Structure formats: structure tokens, C-alpha cells
């Protein structure tokens, strides 16, 4: 059964003059339980807008988003979100940042400690739990942000370009850790990225959106099991094909901007 169903979703913004701009148009998607889906497309096509709507942070103009057949209305503890910026509280230690949501949800202390120990280990944060964000690298901060989302045991993990602010080697390591955790826990992941190589390395399916207004242009099933070699010829060919399809879906000037 699909975890997420998106049916005829539209999103428009109206400026001060009353002029409407369409961001998304007639989006229809199903994301199955345990599936890893990446959303790609040209800048401004509505990738992050779509993610924020699934998170319950933005309302739709029309259409619906269902989580296990229940309409998404506002934020939910069943949906975890990780953004590009880890957004940690600078005055709290890594440990206090990670347990913050559990404190709000009044998770019993014994259960908090159990979950904390698990995700400190899974995210390779051992010996860093008593550090403050300013004492950590960008990659370690993002590990803490992911751990903070995972300790809430969400049904769906939404990730909006979570590795784009770190260096290439750290990005590759975080990708590998995410794959490992997702396999261990069978997490459903909805992941937005500009990086086609990242998309084909991580995803079970890649969804390509058109230029604004964003519509589903194409879907690609990644027919390669994990663990994957990021230099596999199949992944390289698939990323190249998606890039070519982006070019066909954009005006020439838009395609050039995206590929730079």
C-alpha cells in the first residue's frame, strides 16, 4: 500500500497585484512504504515547494496529499523533515538537540535514552553528543539533524538537499550512511536534490519535474540493488539520460543555467 498519495495537486501564489503564478500543476504521485524516491528538475520547478506541502508546511491550492490514506493537514509526528541547514539550537548540545522533539512529545526518559543511543551510533556521533553545534563540522551538524528527525520514528523522512552544503567527500560518506540506515530500518524517504548522480545513487525511483509550473515529466526506476557502486556504468548512463530529458523539457537558456 502506498505510504503517500498525491492526487491532482496544484499550487499557485498570488502577488500584491492579485496576479497568480503557478508553482505546481496537477502533480500525481504514489510513494510506497519503504521506497526511496528522489525529486529532480530545473531550478524553480517547485521541488522544495512540493516537499514542504507533503510536510504540511504549505497548503495546496487544490488537490490532496494522503499519508496512509489520511489527508495531510499541517505538520505531523509521522513526517520527519531534514533541510539543507541542520537548524540546530546553538545553545544546546548535540544530545539535547536530538532529544528535543522527544521532550516535546513527552516520550518517556527510558525510551528517549534508548533511541538516542541507537541514532548516536547509527549516525557516527559517538563522543560528540556533549559538543555544541559551533564545535562541529558541517557534516557532523547534519548528522545530528538527521538523528533528530529519526529518533521520532517517522513513517516518512523528507529531505530537502540535505548534503548540498558539505564538501564532496563528506557528501559521499553521508549518502552511504543514509543508504545503510534506510536499508536497516526500511524507511520511506522523499528526497529533493539538484545532483543527478546523487539521485540515481540513492533512489529506487527518480521523478523529474518540468520547468515551472512543475509537472511530472518522467519517472525512472533505478534497476540496481544496494549496495551500489556510484561509478557503475548503469548509474552513469541513467544520470546522463535524465540530464538529456531535462534539456528537452527546458528552454535552451533554462537548460544551460541548470547544467552549469
The CA distance from 154 to 33, in Å, is 12
- Non-local (6+) Cβ contacts of 250 within 8 A are 42, 211, 258
CATH superfamily for domain 2-78+157-259: P-loop containing nucleotide triphosphate hydrolases (3.40.50.300)
Note the pLDDT tens digit of each residue in 239-260.
Answer: 999 999 997 765 444 444 443 3
- Residue 251 has a pLDDT of 47
pLDDT interval class at 17 (50, 70, 90)? confident
153 phi-psi bin (left φ>0, alpha ψ -120 to 50, beta other):
left
Domain ranges for the chain: 2-78+157-259, 88-153
Predicted pLDDT of residue 255: 45
Residues whose CB is less than 8 angstroms from the CB of residue 213 and which lie 6 or more positions away in sequence, other chains included: 22, 23, 24, 25, 46
Give φ, ψ of 64 to 5 degrees.
-145, 155
- Can you say whether the dihedral through the CA atoms of 69, 102, 203, 162 is positive or negative? positive
CA angle (84, 119, 36) in 5-degree steps:
55
Query: Which of 36, 72, 66 minimizes the C-alpha distance to 193?
Result: 36
Report the DSSP beta bridge partners of residue 221: 205
Round to whole Å and give the CA distance between 159 and 149.
10
Q: Would you say 164 and 85 are in contact if contact means Cβ atoms under 8 Å apart?
A: no
Report pLDDT for 67. 94
Per-chain mean pLDDT for the chain: 90
Tens-place pLDDT, residues 63-109 = 999 999 999 988 888 999 999 888 899 999 999 999 999 999 999 99
Task: Please say if the pLDDT value at position 14 is more than 90.
Answer: no
Residue 252's pLDDT is: 44
Give the mean pLDDT of 149-168: 93
Amino acid at each position: 500500500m502506498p505510504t503517500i498519495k498525491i492526487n491532482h495537486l496544484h499550487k499557485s501564489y498570488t502577488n500584491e497585484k492579485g496576479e497568480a503564478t503557478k508553482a505546481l500543476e496537477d502533480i500525481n504521485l504514489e510513494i510506497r512504504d519503504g521506497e526511496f524516491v528522489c525529486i529532480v528538475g530545473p531550478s524553480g520547478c517547485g521541488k522544495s515547494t512540493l516537499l514542504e506541502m507533503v510536510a504540511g508546511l504549505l497548503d495546496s491550492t487544490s488537490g490532496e496529499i494522503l499519508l496512509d490514506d489520511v489527508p495531510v493537514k499541517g505538520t505531523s509526528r509521522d513526517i520527519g523533515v531534514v533541510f539543507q541547514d541542520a537548524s540546530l539550537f546553538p545553545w544546546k548540545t548535540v544530545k539535547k538537540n536530538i532529544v528535543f522533539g522527544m521532550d516535546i512529545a513527552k516520550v518517556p526518559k527510558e525510551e528517549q535514552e534508548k533511541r538516542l543511543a541507537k541514532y548516536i551510533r547509527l549516525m557516527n556521533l559517538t563522543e560528540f553528543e556533549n559538543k555544541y553545534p559551533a564545535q562541529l563540522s558541517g557534516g557532523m551538524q547534519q548528522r545530528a539533524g538527521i538523528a533528530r528527525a529519526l529518533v521520532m520514528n517517522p513513517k516518512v523522512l523528507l529531505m530537502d538537499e540535505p548534503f548540498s552544503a558539505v564538501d564532496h567527500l563528506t557528501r559521499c560518506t553521508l549518502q552511504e550512511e543514509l543508504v545503510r540506515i534506510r536499508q536497516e530500518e526500511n524507511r520511506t524517504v522523499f528526497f529533493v536534490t539538484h545532483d543527478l548522480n546523487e539521485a540515481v545513487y540513492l533512489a529506487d525511483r527518480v521523478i523529474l519535474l518540468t520547468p515551472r509550473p512543475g509537472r511530472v515529466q518522467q519517472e525512472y526506476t533505478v534497476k540496481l540493488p544496494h549496495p551500489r557502486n556510484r561509478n557503475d556504468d548503469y548509474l552513469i548512463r541513467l544520470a546522463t539520460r535524465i540530464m538529456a530529458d531535462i534539456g528537452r523539457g527546458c528552454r535552451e537558456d533554462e537548460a544551460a543555467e541548470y547544467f552549469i
